[in-house]
Amino acid sequence: MPGADPVSFEFATATRIVFGAGQIREAGNLSKSMGARAWVVTGRNPERAAPLLDSLKGTGIVFELSPIEGEPTIGEVSRAVVKARRFGAELVIGFGGGSALDAGKAIAALVTNEGDSLDYLEVIGMGRPLAKAPLPCIAIPTTAGTGAEVTRNAVLASPEHRVKVSLRSPLMLPRVALVDPALTHGLPAGITSTTGMDALTQLIEPYVSCRSNPFTDAICREGLRRAARSLERAVRRGEDPTAREDMALASLFGGLALANAGLGAVHGFAAPIGGMFPAPHGAVCAVLLPHAMRANVTALRQREPSHEALERFAEIARLLTGRVDATADDGVRWVEELGRRIGIEPLRRFQITEGEVPAIVEKAARASSMKGNPISLTEEELAAILRAAL
């Protein structure tokens, strides 16, 4: 953690970030400098992309739609790569939630790089670096949660291995991140709540990460203020433009932070759980967050009571509650109570049982996200987090 030692860090993000209500109208103009043939990746309902497609038509860009059903699998992406090459794609546009954006970034990377996707994937593949730059990619989120529009990896599921793994490269940062909060206005309350809790997680974990730096700290603080005042409001009043704008910014800031400071135990669990069960990423993070916070605070007090992360957890509590006297425990309670109020449900609804705990813990302990956790948690502590979330 930064402190008395000299400060040294690196920060990288999308080449250009365009933010604001109504900015989707600029998608065509932003695209035309990158190519005339666009491979457009959407979620399962491509009709939501009508404003994007209208903008592309207005600038004469030829496009092909590529809907992704749920979280992208290696097979889906590989098939899309073949079709995108055949189409002669010159750029890729990801439009949707984190799944569509990740699929778009992966397709953009693999279209220009020969070989099998497993050549480049982490954990189950060879993890080779990309040899060639991806196609230009524009990332347009329609949820406020993952921050995938400004991250340098794409998470893909391997049903065969029952795991989700990353295709990762600095070259995968999108050319443009176009964030239009108005695109989130029609989201149902359930999706707003789980994606919003994911955004909150991605502000908390980088802030206490062992890789945090002054740049990401500033981003996290501002994001936490906005999420604290607007997450519940966005769930209950989905057309509230101020709440939607706050959450779009919180999600964007979380993506910037995690891409440059790492994550922690919550995301260490999210990857194996998402690969083993039909559990959406945001829903997993939402229910695990308070339990992981509590476990970290307890472990730090017991084993490293002078660790700076303890004060950071207290600062998080002050930002969330608005109370100058708030403690780390108050922050945990605030997150727990928020989850209760906005309808966050336990993991058992995804058919996760006590018998699965050892296998999940074993995989989570090896996850790359776990390396950012402020303290190394024991298998017993990890198991307790998981059991508490069941």
**pLDDT per residue over 279-298, tens digit each?**
999 999 999 999 999 999 99
Cα(68)–Cα(93) distance, rounded to whole angstroms?
A: 13
What digits encode the pLDDT tens for the residues 85-123? 999 999 999 999 999 999 999 999 999 999 998 999 988
pLDDT, position 70: 86
CB-facing half-sphere around the CA of 36: CA atoms within 13 A: 1
Total-model pTM: 0.96
Tell me which of 153-167, 247-261, 307-321 is least confident: 153-167
pLDDT, position 2: 44
Among 279, 267, 274, CA closest to 349? 279
What digits encode the pLDDT tens for the residues 14-61? 999 999 999 999 999 999 999 999 999 999 999 999 999 999 999 999
| Cβ 161 vs Cβ 275: under 8 Å | yes
pLDDT, position 4: 56
- Strands 153-158 and 163-168, by their bridges, are antiparallel
DSSP category for residue 380: H
Cα(390)–Cα(379) distance, rounded to whole angstroms?
A: 17
Mean pLDDT of all residues in 130-134: 96
Tell me how far apart the terminal alpha carbons of the chain are, to the nearest angstrom.
Answer: 32
